[in-house]
Structure 1
Amino acid sequence: MSNEVVYKSNALIQACYRLSVQEQRIILSAISQVRRDCTPTDEVMYSVSAQTLSELTGSSVKHTYQEIKKAALRLKRREIWIKENPNGEGLKANTMVTGWVQTISYIDSEGRVELRFNKDILPYLTELQSQFTSYRLKNVIQMTSSYGIRFYELLIQWKGKQLLELEIEWLKEAFQIQDSYPRISDFKKWVLEPALKDINNNSDLQVSYTQRKTGRKITHLIFKIKSQKVSKKDKEAKAPVHSPDLPPITKPEPNRSERTKSAKDVALKALEQMKLGLTDA
């Protein structure tokens, strides 16, 4: 999965939905297989292999397959609320509520699932001419926070902008957590900070943030976005392994009494050798 690219309409990225990490991995793995230059069709089944995902997550193939089977079924039941048309064609006359996929198929003998996208979703994945975002799948596939993936997609849209301001209430609506985390401290602890940690450790972005108040209430987050060629995790994996530095091994210096005794022994030995020399003469 090092070269697969995800293409999404910005309208889809900004839509309102909620997916778990495993559901995100499945849907993004499938999206990376969609041909952006082809006419939309819902006849194609896209395959997601437990073997491939297990190599990235470190879990066994058997465990991973059981997880994606359950996640795929949940994905079939998920809703997505879309307010805009693809290709920058503006707001829809009515908000569209649809599903991600219409068919799930389990190939137990091969440890993989196949899925067919919902017809309503395909225009947001294919024949994209403007206002779409692309990124390499490897930048999100190892994330462990579903919010990390969502934040990454929102931020990568504005990669060249460097600073991006987002309203907290808008974020909560997009993530479908309007009724959760009423305190900003909880939102930061459970949503924002794990997400940014995931992004900084696993992706090609380095992100920090500040906040803005409206009156006495924190209402907006201002993100500073930088590119990093290699993720923090990749840097650590490629770094040479060093054994811990050990102090130099030195011979203990003799104490004063030992030095005196040693000098006396040398003098006595020299005197004895002199006596032997005189006797031989």
Structure 2
Amino acid sequence: MQLVVKDNALINASYTLSLVEQRIVLLAIIEARETQKGVDTETFLEIHAQHYADRFDISVKNAYAMLSEASQALFNRQVTFMMIDEKRNKPEKRVVRWVSGVSYVDGSGIIKLRFAPEIIPLITQLEKNFTSYELSQVASLGLYATRLYELLIAWRSTGKVPEISLDDFRDKMGLASNEYKLMHNFKNRVLEPAIKQINEHTDITATYEQHKQGRTISGFSFKFKQKKVRKGERCEDLIRDPNTPDFFVKMTDAQRHSFANKMSEMPEMGKYSQGTESYQQFAVRIAEMLLEPKKFRELYPCLEKAGFQPTLN
């Protein structure tokens, strides 16, 4: 079991990370807790492309490229969290970097990072308020679903998350002020795909309720419950789609790119998005994924929804 453990201040923090960067942070947190030498301001943690590929079911080649790209952006990523000024006993908003140093070892598929001093206590000194979950629960989730899953399970003891204001919720999802400003876009591209992914791929089933001031939606609250797992059965067995076809159909390049463009705009494809990429960039990656038999079978329901009709030999 690989356990991700975070202080609740970090769970409820506001930050913007791509999906790859977020996954690197999760793997680094696991490494930080499992290492025998401990974590301090001098400790560099190593994340290997093979490890990343194994945990998130992608090719090692893609993992190399993802880690290399992430290493260039991760140093500038910030996190904003609330704490208490003990001297004045008042809330204090603190902004810090995630890491104090990061590098990529060319040709080795290894990213090395050192957590910033303010982050270290939030992942290693967890005597009071913390949340933990197995990494496997978020391995198949997209960017927004991962963040929402963390927010939900911080309330695992009650199964209810009190109303979160719209602005606060957007911050917690890592959205910029100009992203998905219209409510129907926010719901279709962020909230509802995240709920759907959580319900399909994790150990909980979640619903949300919207709250209004007048006619304007002002916030959301959530309820969730633990899925029942029968003895000797895994959650993966409960959520497997029995209708997923056990075949691979070769497509022409023109077909792959045509359907990939359609699929890139589907809400249910959100879990495969890297968060910061354009629809065009996403479509190119989808076209590459359709070359892999395993991914083809996984993506087939979306491919069929886009209008693809295979001719079987």
TM-score (norm 1): 0.75
2:164 is matched with which residue? 166
Paired residues for 1:59-78 under 5 Å: 59-78=58-77
Contact 1:83 1:91 in 2 (8 A): no
2:273 aligned partner:
none
In structure 2, C-alpha distance between the alignment counterparts of 1:34 and 1:49, rounded to whole Å: 14
1:33–1:61 CA distance, 2 compared to 1 (3 A): same
Distance in structure 2 (CA, Å) of the matches to 1:241 and 1:218? 37
- 1:21 deviation in Å? 0.7
Larger Rg: 1
- 1:111 counterpart residue number: 109
- Aligned pairs for 1:1-281 (under 5 A) are 3-35=1-33, 41-84=40-83, 92-93=91-92, 95-143=93-141, 145-164=142-161, 165-174=163-172, 175-228=174-227, 233-237=236-240
Query: Quick one: distance in 2 between partners of 1:15 and 1:90?
Result: 20
Runs of at least 5 residues in structure 1 that lack an aligned partner in the other structure: 244-281
Q: Distance in 2 between matches of 1:204 and 1:38?
A: 32
Give the whole-Å Cα distance in 1 for the aligned partners of 2:236 and 2:90.
39
Q: Secondary structure in 1 aligned to 2:5? A: strand
1:26 Cα deviation from its structure 2 partner: 0.3
Shift of 1:226: 0.8
Structure 1 position 236, deviation (Å): 4.6
Q: Distance in 1 between matches of 2:114 and 2:50?
A: 20
Name the aligned partner's letter for residue 142 of structure 1.
S
Write the letter of the residue equivalent to 1:170: D
* CA distance in structure 2 between the partners assigned to 1:49 and 1:170 by the alignment: 34
CA contact (8 A) 1:56 1:142 kept: no
TM-aligned CA deviation for residue 52 of structure 1:
2.1
1 CA distance for matches of 2:54 and 2:33?
A: 25
Q: RMSD across aligned C-alpha pairs, in angstroms?
A: 3.0
After TM superposition, the score normalised by the length of structure 2 is 0.68
- Contact 1:199–1:205 (CA under 8 A) maintained in structure 2: yes
Distance, in Å, in 2 between the alignment partners of 1:25 and 1:234 is 24
Identity of aligned residues (%): 34
Q: Any idea what the Cα deviations from partners look like across 1:95-134, whole Å, max 9, x if unmatched? A: 3221111222323343221211111111111111111111
Aligned residue pairs, count: 237
Q: 2:244 & 2:76 partners in 1: Cα distance?
A: 47
